[in-house]
Structure 1
């Protein structure tokens, strides 16, 4: 491991051994360790709501839903990310600590991470043959964007507002967008949505 002024460099093997011993979470980007910033209350609430809704809906299915603290191996030995919510229904992920075959990834956006979530991370996540849906959830105002892989392998965007229902094709679950925002206080509008 090499530490420079504000960068920590290490091999993937060093990262995988070191990272579980840390209090905070760190992603791994081609040899560089990147500290994850803490989220806001709204970020935490929306992530938790999404996790709970999916976990309850998939309780009798052979799918696992994880929130925040489970890594996704994006490129073996090169990139490991922590999505806000990830779902895998692949038996190959059953007895491992790292998800390698996700079907659904959710990122809850914040001003500091939105460009990365929309850009670099989405580009890397699209490389998963198993990924069917990539979801971006706003927390400054209600709004959900779902990118779905169609039958030709192209990614198609669908947008959802507060009164809409979202059908997650990858896992066969339907959710009310309003339920994702239960108990969220929107700062820009002084509106609290209690669901």
Structure 2
């Protein structure tokens, strides 16, 4: 899989996965009992994610929402599957998940695209994230050009694409972010 290499080929329980992640030196994502090691990021990826986190944190000051960066997981559970992903950023608003290590009700998820993760971010992860009843917007941010795609539940998950001169409207959290600031 593009998201990483399977750490084990045998099934692992959610409880064992969560305990292992507390002490792991490398982050892993969990998909239905399989665990996948995460790949590293570039400096450009890191700068863009940090800019987004700061812009969102400042824009959400005083609102009942919290911004989380790449080390906090999002938990997706349905009747048929369980997954834990580490999005680059996500925003959870009240009521907050009653767990210190993951969120269950994000309103907004942002992934900064890279060559190694873009396919999964656009397919498997997007498909899984849409199962979260709380999710209102899913954002994909290019790191090699000034381009942001926003997928909104209210628009049937069709994309709105923003370019260099635009500001990204994030209705889920009431924020507007200039692309120039995202890519500063």
Could you state the TM-score of these two structures normalised by the residue count of structure 1? Answer: 0.86
Matched ranges for 1:23-62 at <5 A: 23-62=25-64
> Greater relative contact order (Cα 8 A, min sep 6): structure 1 or 2?
2
Instruction: Tell me the alpha carbon deviations over residues 169-192 of structure 1, each in whole angstroms, 9 at most, x when there is no partner.
Output: 00111110111101xxxxxxxxxx
Instruction: Give 1 or 2 for the bigger CA radius of gyration.
Output: 1
Q: 1:48: Cα distance to partner?
A: 0.5
* Equivalent residues of 2:149, 2:160 under 8 A apart: yes
Aligned equivalent of 1:81: 85
Instruction: Tell me the alpha carbon deviations over residues 130-182 of structure 1, each in whole angstroms, 9 at most, x when there is no partner.
Output: 1010000000111100001117xx21210001110111100111110111101
2:152 aligned with 1:148? yes
2:101 aligned with 1:91? no
Distance, in Å, in 2 between the alignment partners of 1:80 and 1:89 is: 19
Change (3 A) 1:120 1:95: closer
Distance, in Å, in 1 between the alignment partners of 2:98 and 2:52 is: 21
Q: 1:95: Cα distance to partner?
A: 5.3
Unaligned 5+ segments in structure 1 are 183-195
Instruction: Tell me the alpha carbon deviations over residues 104-134 of structure 1, each in whole angstroms, 9 at most, x when there is no partner.
Output: 0000000111000000000000011110100
SS at 1:91 equivalent = coil
Q: 1:90: Cα distance to partner?
A: 2.6
Aligned equivalent of 1:128: 132
RMSD of Structure 2 on Structure 1 (CA): 1.7
Aligned equivalent of 1:186: none
* Equivalent residues of 1:47, 1:108 under 8 A apart: yes
Change (3 A) 1:6 1:25: closer
Count of residues in Structure 1 that have an aligned counterpart in Structure 2: 176
* Equivalent residues of 1:106, 1:134 under 8 A apart: yes
Unaligned 5+ segments in structure 2 are none
